[in-house]
Amino acid sequence: MWWVRALRTKAEFVASLRDGRTVYFKGHKIEDITRDPFCERVIAHLGLEFEIPENPQYRDLVTFSPDGKTRYSRYFKLPENSEDLLKRSQIIDLGTRLASTVVILIKEIGTDCLFTLNIISKQMDKQLHTDYFNRVKRYHDYCMKNDLAMAVAQTDVKGDRSLGPSEQEHEDYYVRIVEERSDGIVVRGAKAHTSYGPFANEIMVIPTRALAEKDEQYAVAFAVPANTKGVKMIASPFGGTSSSEFHNPISSKHHMVESITLFDDVFVPWDRVFMKGETQFAGPLALTFVEYHRFTAISYKAPILDLLIGAGISMAQMNGIIGASHARDKIAELIRYGETVKGLTKQAAINCRMVEGLAVPDPVYSNIAKWHFASNYHQHVALVQDLTGGLTVTGPSEDDLRSPDTGPSLRKYLGGKKGVGAENRLRMINLVRDLTASDFGGYNEILQIHAEGSIEASKLTLFRQYNAKNCVELARKIANVGNGLSE
Ligand SMILES: Cc1cc2nc3c(=O)[nH]c(=O)nc-3n(C[C@H](O)[C@H](O)[C@H](O)COP(=O)(O)OP(=O)(O)OC[C@H]3O[C@@H](n4cnc5c(N)ncnc54)[C@H](O)[C@@H]3O)c2cc1C
């Protein structure tokens, strides 16, 4: 079909993962991740990324056609204005919603990184007369035309957080260049938390922080295929251990997997190297990535915010307390919380600024949204748990509900408001447990705080990026203190 020519099918994506990559899980090496029971569930979740464009209902939104003939995933479209960013936000929301609130992220994060490299390579070329932009452009085209799944390994393992890369106990706490050859570089080190690394075709690597001149070997950005010699991924087992749809309606089908990603003297050819020693651009690269990536983050929060509201209302109805003033108060608070984040997300797109021809989401609104979401998530989870009741963790298993010995009693005693029925009520309670009080629920609480950068990082960016000139001028004018103060 003409419209899917550049888009891969789920089967093609799955086949591409049989490439001899090195993935470890719970102490053993997985020979073929497509045949491992744990990985199969993750692959089924990620397969949605390739199924969504096949649905005529979503096709126009999630794809674009630069030449009017070939259709590519819209994720690869360089954002030229607010509208592009709003559409990007919509497709992130759509995918996450279809995946029961679990972000898919094999295109989102990679394209956040591609946009960043696009901007920073242009700036490096202008200032340093390098030729990075052409490499980035070729690499972007390659990923887009092959519809690749990408992971981004930014966060180094970091050792002592109070020290810079070259001050650490050993040299490899941050990924670094250990050798330069005529045909490329050799890199060594480890990155942590690489989302879906074991399931990506490409691993993109960028610095995690601003660097000093003495950190030259750490100023490195590159991309390698996931099966490159020396790349080893140790997959995390947490957050999705149950296969029961009844008990875990979300995490039995959808959950994320991160990896500790090792670079054991990995060779990278020049055409895949996007930064080599330009320490002065490490900070801008890390920061620009975060500006795109926090916008991705707040975009994929909308479905979980809606789910908290929906579950809270449903449980209040099922328990017969929807008319109680405290229940209405809690639901109103859930709505305020959710709609604030959603409103700020739109505003971040609308207030975008143009950098090197690309639209970058407004960091002030993105960071307020991320900070507001992350620092209030646990309290809002508590409101839903409060409305739901203790059965969230004390309820019976599905086997007991189905058993002829215990099922009739459970159906008799565990109903709520007339007409709801015990099984429906238990299903909704199970949703709340999966979302808030399971292995997956705990994983989610950590994700909301740390993924896309810690809360403190958001505050710092907000402080640095906020243009307070008007505010300061107003205060000085009203206080009549003149211009004598230092900036
Ligand atoms: C689910 C999940 C998915 C993720 N996916 C990815 C991914 O795909 N790719 C990727 O690159 N990263 C990813 N991350 C990493 C994420 O960006 C980091 O977890 C986050 O930046 C925090 O870093 P950290 O985990 O090392 O914690 P730390 O940075 O160690 O944070 C712990 C505490 O130390 C504080 N702290 C840290 N440094 C300093 C300092 N210098 N001075 C004072 N206080 C400090 C922090 O504010 C925080 O309070 C993911 C994380 C999670 C949880």
CA of 252 to the centre of ligand 1 (A): 27
- Cα separations (Å) of 452 from 108, 257, 304, 439, 472? 12, 15, 16, 21, 31
User: What does the CA dihedral 106, 225, 191, 76 come to, rounded to 10 degrees?
Assistant: -30
Please state the pTM of the whole predicted model.
0.96
Q: Kind of pairing, strands 184-195 and 176-180?
A: antiparallel
Q: What span, in angstroms and rounded, lies between the C-alpha atoms of 14 and 25?
A: 19
- Cα separations (Å) of 484 from 31, 389, 474, 487? 69, 60, 15, 9
Residues of the chain with confidence (pLDDT) below 50 = 1-5
C-beta of residue 226 within 8 angstroms of C-beta of residue 286: no
Shortest-distance atom of ligand 1 to CA 162: 41
User: Best of 161, 174, 199, 208 to mutate for ligand 1, by most ligand atoms within 8 A of CB?
Assistant: 161
Q: Whose CA is nearest to atom 2 of ligand 1?
A: 451
Extract the tokens encoding 261.
């990603």
241 phi and psi, to 5 degrees? -100, -10
Q: Is 301 exposed, middle or buried (0-12, 13-18, 19+ CB in 10 A)?
A: buried
- Ligand 1 site, CB within 6 A: 109, 152-155, 158, 161-162, 193-195, 258, 446-447, 450-454, 456
C-beta of residue 373 within 8 angstroms of C-beta of residue 301: yes
Please choose, from the candidates 1, 11, 13, 136, the residue with its C-alpha nearest in 3D space to the C-alpha of residue 70.
1
Q: How much is the pLDDT for 286?
A: 97
Q: Whose CA is nearest to atom 17 of ligand 1?
A: 453
Please choose, from the candidates 340, 330, 417, 333, the residue with its C-alpha nearest in 3D space to the C-alpha of residue 372.
340
Q: How much is the pLDDT for 4?
A: 38
Q: What span, in angstroms and rounded, lies between the C-alpha atoms of 187 and 172?
A: 10
Q: How much is the pLDDT for 3?
A: 38
Q: How much is the pLDDT for 242?
A: 87
β-strand partners of 268: 185
Q: Looking only at Cα atoms, what is the longest distance across the chain?
A: 84
Q: How far is CA 255 from the centre of its chain?
A: 12
Q: What span, in angstroms and rounded, lies between the C-alpha atoms of 222 and 205?
A: 5
β-strand partners of 195: 258
Q: How much is the pLDDT for 241?
A: 82
